Amino acid sequence: MTETVFVVGIDGSDAGERALAFAKERAKAVGNCTLVLCYVIEWSPFSFQTKEENEMRHKRREEEISLAHSRVLDPAVVATADDDVSVIGVVKHGDVAEILDGLAKKHGAAQIFVGRVGIRGLKERVFGGVTGRLVASASVPVTIIP
């Protein structure tokens, strides 16, 4: 029996927690399944910064990665492993939709799970959200959890 892989976008929001809980249920039902949990720190290479900001960029990036691990990803990985589900944790900088789909391709995932409204709920409602972009461009089915 081959392993099934699911990618789960998490961000510390209630919707992200529900997406993870649903993915865990699916993983247990499928059996021989690995969850790839991913926290994406949105970052654009096209932002304009001062010389001083550029000098601090690497340090700030490392601090963001450390905070993402300690506050969101690591607790989710531990809780998932405690539920007897195989898990991989990833923190990345960039566009959320691109990164989640890229991880799905890299790991040969069967599906991506995300929450409908994440931490940036209002901004997404006004400017268009990650979930819409992900559904429009994903290479595998996407399940959006309310």
The structural architecture, per CATH, of the domain 4-145 is 3-Layer(aba) Sandwich (3.40)
Q: What is the pLDDT of residues 29-48, one digit of tens each?
A: 999 999 999 999 987 655 56
Instruction: Report pTM.
Output: 0.86
Question: Residue 145: what residue type?
Answer: I
Domain residue limits, the chain: 4-145
Q: What is the pLDDT of residues 102-142, one digit of tens each?
A: 999 999 999 999 998 655 544 444 335 778 888 889 999 99
CA distance 131 to 71: 23
CA distance 121 to 14: 11
